[in-house]
A = this chain, B = another copy of it.
């Protein structure tokens, strides 16, 4: 066994990864991939770090919404401020589950609050607030948010890079929320972070100008938008893609080329002891994995260690 991927058990998932990389880097092999085409993209929430009991970014948003209720009490009776102020995580969890099932009504209410929460903030102030929040503790798994990255996936990023792959994050989460920590957690610099974003406005001043968020969305990077954003940002079709939910299906399918099968990785959350056990929002992607031969990674069976720094 290679010294890379040490947190992986020697299972078919690990073998599929190693075989793909060995063939992709072996000149003359029918599956050889020239170095400039070695592009790997990974979803973030639920793929590179944990997303339960709620996505980490949602905690950040709730923190901000509750903060707004302190200065404007009239917000306390309106969603999504009400849920944030009362710490009613049920409403929020349901919102996400409904979104996975195609019901976007509560998501729109939530999005309206999010847009208002950050409108007028500069990108620098937002980054500082996100960075400060991400120094905090995860609510249930007894570790800091910065230690919520999956060690096995971080090893996979390094293994791919050691074999000439350029690695990118292609997340449905907010691009600028992740950026302050992606280098530290995953070794992925800001320029390689693709995600959702609010619209920005350039505001001239005497000292270089500022970029300020507007109260309107720009990109919601999920589903069929993921391949569009991947192309827009990278200018190449990936050959490796990793995800964990229905929203990752187009990105996973897009990996590879018309003449060459890519490596499609789907993370299955099946370990209630060490992480979480759920398939809500991933049902269709699991079906596609079965029908299309994607590689399913079982946290329970395929990983000897789950989290970095003692997981």
Contact = CB atoms under 8 A, between A and B. Distances in A.
Given A191-B234, A209-B250, 5 more contacts: A202-B224, A202-B250, A204-B224, A208-B257, A233-B233
Contacts of A200: 228, 231-232
Contacts of A256: 208
Contacts of A197: 232
Nearest to A253: B209
Given A36-B189, A228-B201, A237 B208 contact: yes
B190 A235 contact: yes
Interface residues of A, number: 42
Contacts of A123: 231
Nearest to A193: B235
A215 interface: no
Nearest to A39: B191
B228 A190 contact: no
A254 interface: yes
Interface in A187-212: 189-193, 197, 200-202, 204, 207-209, 211
Contacts of A237: 208
A231 to B, nearest CB: 5
Contacts of A233: 191, 233
Contacts of A189: 36, 235
